[in-house]
Amino acid sequence: MMKKAKYILSMLALAGMLASCGAHKAAVNDTPKYTLTDTAKKAESTPQVSHVTKIANSFGAWTTLRAGGSVSIGGTQSLSSSMQIRMERGKSIYISVRPMGIMEVGRLIITGDTLLVIDKLHKRYILEDAKLLTAGIPINVSTLQDIFLGRAFILGKGTFNSGMSSMVTFANVDGSYMIRPKEQYKGFEYDFKFDKNYHIKSLEVIPATSTNKVTTYSVDYSDVKTSLAGQIATKVKVATQINRSSVSLALEYSGYTWNEEVTIDTKIPENYTRVSGSSLLGMFSVE
């Protein structure tokens, strides 16, 4: 009987302890502690992560592009013309210069990291590294496609996507959202700014050694529209320097056609004379 009594008392004590634990647990649940998973979920809902994710998700998939529009080049000599543009993602960019939208007077073609400019008026051409268009910053055709369409990117990684969120810093600067890759290219710093609707506003590239933060290469974007490939800037203005001369390139797109077969001719016509990249500013002039 004594053993049985001790057993019953032990069971009652254990039950009391369990009840006490249950009551304590209920009290703690009033102010829950986050598990690792809960903490991650909470972090994803913070404004910074939300903004970065929305920016990343504004860029859609595509394979080819064909569009019309206009191109303007400003510098020591100026040019403004109708154009046709074609792109194969990751492969090539083709811009056909067609005054009045009729006869082609020249073309600009980028394949890989090579720039080819053909001047049909004077039967000459330029064959240079594509970094001629970006103030010496090494790029490839994929990066230029992002620049020309208004899509953020990380050099060496490709178009910005949600999987790259940890690779950028975020800031709210004067009402604009700014993302800046944590790993910068040697010798340069670059960032992208977006408005409150997550429409891209600018890309700026500044030499890391610059004390007054003078922009070496900048792109202003406007008239961002929704397309089959996500948000696309239909007006793009690039400002840079070629051989220490200031030059601007403005593109305006219209009539997008996505993901249909395109033909891009990269052949150099016979009997054309090769000239230096410094001649780019005078290409297609009628003089």
Q: For residue 76, what pLDDT is reported?
A: 60
pLDDT, one tens digit per residue, over 71-123 is: 988 766 677 899 999 999 999 999 999 988 788 999 999 998 899 999 998 99
**CA atoms of 256 and 92, how far apart (whole Å):** 17
More confident residue, 129 or 48: 129
Q: For residue 43, what pLDDT is reported?
A: 38
More confident residue, 14 or 184: 184
How many residues are there in the chain?
A: 287
Mean pLDDT of the region 254-277: 93
pLDDT category, 38, cuts 50, 70, 90? Answer: very low
Comparing 180-189, 194-203, 244-253, 277-286, the range with the smallest average pLDDT is 277-286
Supply 28's token pair: 């703690």
pLDDT, one tens digit per residue, over 182-227 is: 999 888 899 999 999 999 999 999 887 766 566 678 999 999 999 9
More confident residue, 213 or 65: 65
Strand partners, 154: 158
pLDDT category, 259, cuts 50, 70, 90? Answer: very high
Q: For residue 148, what pLDDT is reported?
A: 96
Q: What is the pTM of this model?
A: 0.78
More confident residue, 41 or 122: 122
Q: For residue 209, what pLDDT is reported?
A: 73
Q: For residue 285, what pLDDT is reported?
A: 60
Q: Angle, nearest 10°, between helix axes 47-57 and 36-44?
A: 60
Nearest to 219 by CA among 233, 239, 248, 244: 239
pLDDT category, 277, cuts 50, 70, 90? Answer: confident
More confident residue, 71 or 37: 71
pLDDT category, 24, cuts 50, 70, 90? Answer: very low
Q: For residue 282, what pLDDT is reported?
A: 67
Residue 2 has pLDDT above 50, yes or no: no
Would strands 200-207 and 188-194 be described as parallel, antiparallel, or unpaired? antiparallel
